Amino acid sequence: MSKFCIDTRNVPKTDKDWGSLKSLFDGSSLATGSGFTLGSIVYAKPHYSGVHEDHEAIYILEGRGRALIGGEEVDFQDDFLLVVPAGTEHSISHVTEGPVKAILVHFT
């Protein structure tokens, strides 16, 4: 990594039973302790994310489906932003047209 750039082409992805996740940036690279992470995620099928103590934003790049956020069903497609406040139960409950490719951000 240079001071200003991270070449993410060589960052390994983690395969899951529901798709894959690639961790692109976690804040520790700059020693900020900022509570910020950035990743790319692919949902090939539904995924229950649960509840966590940080906020989450999921920017849908490609695909269609349905999310369940705090008990509310939300249909999404390309160029949608799903926002999950800290402590809110959430999941990708249905992949209608996929795989769903997204950018994932966690922050405090």
Q: Tens digits of per-residue pLDDT, 22-71?
A: 998 876 655 556 688 999 999 999 999 999 999 999 999 999 999 999 99
Residue 39 lies in a domain: yes
Name the residue range of residue 86's domain.
14-107
Q: Write out the DSSP string of 12-43.
A: PPEEETTEEEEEEE-SGGGT----EEEEEEEE
- Say how many domains are in the chain: 1
Looking up tokens 């692919």 gives 42
Residue 92 lies in a domain: yes
Number of other CB atoms surrounding residue 63 within 10 Å? 21
The model's pTM is 0.88
Residue 78: give its domain's CATH number: 2.60.120.10
Instruction: Break the chain down into helix, strand, coil percent, rounded to 5.
Output: 5, 60, 35
Residue 31 lies in a domain: yes
3-state secondary structure of 32: coil
